[in-house]
Amino acid sequence: MSDSKPVSPVPPDRPAWLPETGAARAASYRLAPPAILAFYEWEIGTCFMCRTVNRFVTAIGARGGEGGEEAVPLTVCGSCVLAQEEERRARMIRSGRRYVPGRIGQPE
């Protein structure tokens, strides 16, 4: 019989936003693309970053609206969202801040 302590399935440094998977310590806390994309609401439109038409896009902000002009929503496709999230994640890690997905277009 072994008197060793059982290994906790959840590492103590697990981020609060990471869903419980029951898995042992993973090599990275990076989420799978479907989990990141689930943070956003989607509709058909044009991506303002890559200019692809008739893609699923999500609104991340608006441009204009000053001086009586109509604000134009800024929409981004899933591929561009994932690229932006990866850049945000790297930026947050470098600055020592906690990365929380789903906040593109919001203040960090």
pTM: 0.67
Q: In the predicted model, is pLDDT for residue 58 greater than 50?
A: yes
Q: Average per-residue pLDDT in the chain?
A: 78
Q: Inform me whether the pLDDT recorded for 19 exceeds 90.
A: no
Give Cα separations from 94 to 12, 13, 87 (angstroms): 21, 17, 11
Residue partners of 66: CB distance under 8 A and separation at least 6: none
Whether 47 contacts 78, CB under 8 Å? no
Share of the chain above pLDDT 90, in %: 35
The 10s digit of each residue's pLDDT in 64-106 is: 877 778 888 899 999 999 999 999 988 988 999 888 889 888 8
- pLDDT at residue 64 in the model: 83
Q: Tell me, what's the pLDDT at 41? A: 93
